[in-house]
Each structure stands twice: as structure tokens, then as C-alpha cells.
Amino acid sequence: MQVVNTVVELRHAIKAWRIKGETVAFVPTMGNLHDGHLQLVREAKKLADRIVVSIFVNPTQFGVGEDFESYPRTEQDDQKKLAIEDTDLLFLPAVADIYTPDAKTTVTVSGLSDKYCGASRPGHFSGVATVVCKLFNCVQPDIALFGLKDFQQLAVIKTMARDLHIPVEILGVDTVREPSGLAMSSRNGYLTVKEKAVAAKLFYSLCVARDAILAGVQDYNAVEQQALLSLTQAGFVPDYFSVCRSSDLAKAAPDDRELVLLVAAKLGKTRLIDNIYFSR
């Protein structure tokens, strides 16, 4: 596996592949890799000749008081895991390689970015859209893969790429879960042993709500309130639990068929998100 730190090195390597007519798949990450990330790499290998993974802890998507400085950085272990998966190239830039000191341009996806997690984390999705746009411009992949655990993030990125005519196919890959049902996440490492046992109830709340809707319940507000109450009783501090239309994340109406349930809640000091999508 080739490891590069600069955009110049990255483009030089990709240019050599392009001359040979090879296709490129891209998996952007913030490192501290778990099996959810590696599943993205495995899926990418099925779809393209060459695989590029980036590890970049993006400062612009962290708000004031969030965990940028303490976010786990495990580059050596991550490199070993990616090498085992036969990754072709790891792009490992410094902040200065991505953001010039006098950078003035940001990308914001209006509407999608200011609700749910965007309401609780102002500026977060602008940071996400900006860095992903930059990385797409650096790598210029044929396909990019993202986990569906962050459903809102994927919606923001898809909309950004569509609106800016970025020629990349974006694929969402199903969430990888622990045996308890807890979605794999780098932030799970912040949970205590006791909290981790409780954290699985986040996914359980989604399953209960989904089953109620599939059984015919159409009062989505009641479904949301019951889920919030259950989470509170379990020890969470809920941020939101929302029944949404999966196409645009608008509040679902009784006649909508393609739905996604979005949830975010704090457990101790750790903020967790999850979702479940289905047809009714």
C-alpha cells in the first residue's frame, strides 16, 4: 500500500492509474478505523480497479467544546488494517495540505444542513460538505462510499455533488453493527462498559418505532414521543427522534412510503446517532 501526504503525490499516483484506464473508488474517513470502515473498503474493491482511502480529522466539522483535540488518532493501526484489506493508496494529509491559511471558500447545503444534527451542531455540515468537496477534487474518483449510519451526512454529500455537478457516483453502505445492535462508531470508544450495554437500546428504540409504523400506527408524533420517553428512561439525554421521508428528510406524512427514522442522544459524555430506513 502506498502512503502519500500531499495532493501532488496523490494526483501523480492517480494519474498513472488513469493512463492505464483503471477506475478509482474512494473511501474518506477520519481514522480510528473499525469494521464499518473496512466494510466500505471491501465493497469498494468490488466496484473499481483501485482503492483510495483518506484519513483526515477535519477541524471544520467540530464545534466549540467538541472533541477535535481528543478525537482518537490511530494512524499506525489504521495503516495495518488497510494494508490487510489490500488498499492501493492511503492519503494522509496534514491540515495545512487541505486548508490554506487564507482559505475563504466554504460549501453549504441549505435546508438539509440546519436540521437534526445540524441544529445541534451549527456549522457541522458546512465543514463536512467543504472537506468532502475538497477531497473529491483531489482524488476525482469514479465512485465514493460512505456508511449509512450517518444518513443525514450522506444526504448532504449527495446533494452537494449533484448541485455542483461533481462527476462521482456516491454509494451508501449499510451500517455494520455489534452483536448487541449498537452501530459501530469511533465514538463508541468513549463509552464505559456499563454505558456500552445501555447504548444498544438506541437501536432497539428504532426497531420498536419501525415495527409500530409497519403495524399501522400513523400518528408519527406519538411514535416520536414514545421513543424519546423510552430513551430518557433508559438513561439517555435525547437530542431528537424523528420520523422522516427518506428522499429529502422532511417530516413524514401518513401517505409517505419510504421512511427513515433518525435518532441522536447523549449517553454520559458521548453523543450517539443511528437510523433505520424501510418501506411501508
- Output the domain CATH number for residue 71: 3.40.50.620
Domain count, the chain: 2
Same domain, residue pair 125 and 202: no
Among all residues, which ones are annotated catalytic? Answer: 37
Task: Tell me the pLDDT tens digit for each residue of 179-232.
Answer: 999 999 999 989 999 999 999 999 999 999 999 999 999 999 999 999 999 999
107 and 237 co-located in one domain: no
Distance CA 273, CA 118 (A): 12
pLDDT tens for residues 40-92? Answer: 999 999 999 999 999 999 999 998 878 788 888 999 999 999 999 999 999 99
Please tell me whether residue 109 adopts helix, strand or coil conformation.
Answer: coil
Same domain assignment for residues 161 and 31: yes
pLDDT tens, 208-223?
999 999 999 999 999 9
Measured distance CA(132)–CA(144) in Å, rounded? 10
Q: Is 157 found in the same domain as 199?
A: no
Residue 84 placed within a domain: yes
Which residues have CB under 8 Å from 108's CB, separation 6+? 125, 126, 129
Asked whether residue 258 falls in the same domain as residue 198, the answer is yes
Q: At 36, list the grid cell.
A: 464499518
Give a yes or no: residue 62 inside a domain: yes
154 and 85 co-located in one domain: yes
- pTM for this predicted structure: 0.95
From the list 166, 135, 119, the residue with the least C-alpha distance to 26 is 135
DSSP-assigned letter for residue 237:
E
Q: Which of 113, 142, 173 is the last residue of a domain?
A: 173
In a domain, 180, yes or no: no
Task: Provide the domain limits for residue 253.
Answer: 186-279
The pLDDT value recorded for residue 176 is 96
Same domain, 261 and 167: no
Same domain for 38 and 161: yes
The whole-number average pLDDT for the span 131-138 is: 98
Q: Which domain-ending residue is among 173, 200, 234?
A: 173
Q: Are residues 40 and 123 in the same domain?
A: yes
Tell me, yes or no, whether 8 and 140 share the same domain: yes
108 and 80 both lie in a single domain: yes
Edge-to-edge, what's the strand order for the sheet holding 237-245?
237-245, 258-267, 270-279
Are residues 144 and 196 part of one domain?
Answer: no
Is 93 a member of any domain?
yes
Q: Across the beta sheet with 2-4, what order do the strands follow? A: 2-4, 89-91, 50-55, 24-29, 143-147, 169-173
Per residue in 86-127, pLDDT (tens digit) is 999 999 999 999 999 898 999 999 999 999 999 999 999 999
Give me the CATH number covering residue 221.
3.30.1300.10
Report pLDDT for 278. 97
* Beta-bridge mates of residue 52: 26, 89
